[in-house]
Amino acid sequence: MEIKAGWLSDVRQVPVSRFGKRPASTEISLIVIHCIALPPHKYGGHFVDDLFLGCLDPNAHPYFKDVAPLEVSTHLFINRQGKITQYVSFLDRAWHAGRSSYNDHKECNDYSIGIELEGSDDSEYTIEQYTSLKEVVTLLKKTYPAIGNNIAGHNEVAPTRKTDPGRYFDWSWIR
């Protein structure tokens, strides 16, 4: 696996329109770890793609009525089998962290890479996910050296409103 023009090679690519340009002269210096399952605690299927593509059917599940209108995206999604999907180029700003701050630097989307793991705050992740995550984090840190050890959970950059990746996430795999 390698990064070419902001895109990972050898992974599933589903480019979305929900992203923006990073502010000029912004250095990528943070990775934010998230979790997602649509509907909650249900894994597999096309609903995560649909959310990021902006075509999630609000009538397909009661939970979707609240999340379907959200304009969100992420750079990467790692499913339970460890398969990686990329939605947004690393060179662009995905809409994953919302109002956020890391080390007193606001608006994390401007300078971070978002990685969603298929899962829930209250369940364990798979070895396959950790293996893929470790591989991609190693590559990202090599490609964007300003990241250094700046890897945070969504709960750390938006602590008053987010809890993911949750208490079962094993930070020892990547920190």
What values do phi and psi take at 115, rounded to 5?
A: -125, 120
- 116 classed as catalytic: yes
Whether the bond between 165 and the residue before it is cis, its omega within 30 degrees of 0, is: yes
Q: Of 114, 44, 120, nearest to 77 (Cα)?
A: 114
Q: What are the backbone angles phi and psi of residue 155, rounded to the nearest 5°? A: -65, -25
Nearest to 172 by CA among 137, 143, 123: 137
Tokens of 32: 């934010």
- Choosing from 71, 116, 124, 156, which is the catalytic residue? 116
With contact defined as beta carbons under 8 Å apart, do 158 and 72 qualify? no
Report the distance separating Cα 37 and Cα 120, nearest Å.
6
Bridge partners (DSSP) listed for residue 21: 92
- Which residues are tagged catalytic? 116
